[in-house]
Amino acid sequence: MTTESSAAGLPDDGGRRYIRLQIELIAEIVDEKALQAAALEQVEKDEYLEDDERAEAIEAINVDPSGAIAHFIDPVAMLEAIPGVDLAEAGWETQPVDYDEENEDWELLGEDDE
């Protein structure tokens, strides 16, 4: 006997199911100084950062402002409006990338490996 939940791939017993959501974005930094200033302000106002974490974040932003974008990523906000979903774990990073929007060979999420 197949129920709707098992047909959809959900456990029949109502058990938990976890989904890995991978998102890859390419962001163009059009004003590095504005990004850096906003990230530093965000870090200074973050009440959950320990002093040593705050110092590390400030140093990282001053060394490589491209990493400043990570301070604006909020996985909780991405999922909080979706009924029936709770964030179990999140991790993210930013890194500079050579990107050419005119190059048709550009692939996201390792598509060229498939």
Give the mean pLDDT of 78-96.
90
Give the mean pLDDT of 87-109.
82
In a domain, 54, yes or no: yes
Say what the pTM is.
0.67
In a domain, 52, yes or no: yes
Give the mean pLDDT of 36-63.
94
In a domain, 13, yes or no: no
Under the phi-then-psi rule, with left for phi > 0, alpha for psi from -120 to 50, and beta for the rest, what region is 110? left
96 has pLDDT over 70: yes
In a domain, 98, yes or no: no
pLDDT digits (tens, 9 = 90+) for 2-19: 444 444 555 555 678 999
In a domain, 7, yes or no: no
Distance in angstroms (rounded) separating the CA atoms of residues 94 and 68:
8
pLDDT of residue 82: 93
| Segments forming the whole domain that contains residue 65 | 32-81
Count the domains in the chain: 1
